[in-house]
Amino acid sequence: MSKRVRVKPGKGQSTAGFIVGLILCFIGIFMVIPTFGPFGILWTLFAAIMTGINGLNAFSNRGIASHEIIIDEEHNPYFEDSRKSSEERLNELQSLYEKGIITADEYQQRRKQIIENI
């Protein structure tokens, strides 16, 4: 079983892309279009699209994903808990708490999640 995760660039990266896109738009409008005509229009169009996408990612919660990650749950150690029984997971959790690796709050929260999934 695979899980698809869509990843959006961070706010800082998107803000930088937005600023660079604005600069490229101004260059396109004032230098490239007058000099190169149709190529300048194409340049400015791409710069505007880049600016819009980065602006959406930087200044809104929706955003547009830049890539997608496929996680193979069957062979991923992060999904190992899903193959263990609830009893095994509760025993392991209790062991972590007794060793002092996790706090009482973390223990209670995780224990609640395991029990809800039974």
Over its C-alpha atoms, the chain yields an Rg (Å, rounded) of: 24
pLDDT of the chain, 118 residues: tens digit per residue: 677 888 888 999 999 999 999 999 999 999 999 999 999 999 999 999 999 999 999 998 888 888 888 877 655 555 555 567 888 889 998 999 899 889 999 999 999 988 888 7
| Interatomic CA distance for residues 95 and 91, integer angstroms | 6
| Interatomic CA distance for residues 89 and 117, integer angstroms | 11
